[in-house]
Amino acid sequence: MVEVVGWGSLPASCVTEAREGMVVYTESDQVTEARSTILELLLANHPDDCLTCDKAGRCSLQDFSYRYGIRKGPFLGERKAYPLDQENPFILRDMSKCILCGKCVRVCSEVVGRNVVDFSFRGFATKVATPLNCGLEEAGCVFCGSCVEVCPVGALSEKQMSGRGRSWQVNSVTTTCPYCGVGCQVNLQVKGNRVVGAKSAGTGINGKHLCIKGRFAYGFIHHPERLTRPLIKRNGQFEEVSWEEALHETGSRLREIKELHGSDALAVLASARITNEENYLLGKLARAALGTNNIDHCARL
């Protein structure tokens, strides 16, 4: 809300059209008082569990309360006590902390296009819910996590990050998602040299949005069976070698097969996890260097 000189009310700036000669104050005494009152009304029904909430340190309600000096509001309202919904593997839903801002409803409807959640019931009993209060999976949720990204409080949070670190203990490292060639930007949440979560970087072609793989499927990074060094099988056993030795061995074997059996004995399988430019180079390697047109792509199937 802002104050416009000559107007009797405080309009919302995001839906008020600018006009010739308009004078607008964004931090006047009247605006500050109105914002403080709204915060006090929100806190009247909000749980007092900031000490243990996973969203502490990155909660908009907490940040604005600090900004406007709201310690304890004068309103003592009834508190909601909804059970914690943790039936799905990715998102924790604590509707007792929901402030009914509607961001999750709008992003699911207008951006993702799934319409999985909406406002249900009336009055004080109003809450964001799925149709007939069914589970997210049953409601058709694709678990892109966009609702978690836009939630300003602790009502929605990443299940895999729960209890794994407070916001000030985690460093954010920007990288590119490895799951496809789109090139989405991801902020990996790193604590103690281990990745404990992933969030959208808010930049790049994806903006604030990721798919289920980019946001939640980072467990392979520290998987004990993950290959981190090239291996060559010798005498029936895999041995770790340098990249130079692995590339030399690969080139030698391809050359040997081509000389003994011809180029048609070779085939190349491209990947959807690399960029178009890299796939182009792979095709050029197959046709120009190996001399084969036996090239396929995993996405074709």
What are the tens digits of pLDDT across the range 91-135?
999 999 999 999 999 999 999 999 999 999 999 999 999 999 999
First-to-final CA distance of the chain: 53
pLDDT (tens digit per residue) in 158-202: 998 888 888 889 999 999 998 887 889 999 999 988 999 999 988
**Fold annotation for 170-226:** N-terminal domain of TfIIb (2.20.25)
Its pTM stands at 0.80
In which band, very low, low, confident or very high, does the pLDDT at 155 lie, cut at 50, 70 and 90? very high
Delimit the domains of the chain by residue range: 3-67, 170-226, 231-300
CA dist 133 and 114 (Å) reads 16
| pLDDT (0 to 100) of residue 172 | 92
* Contact yes or no for 39/73 (Cβ under 8 A): yes
To the nearest whole percent, how much of the chain has pLDDT over 70? 99
Instruction: Map residue 253 onto helix, strand or coil.
Output: helix
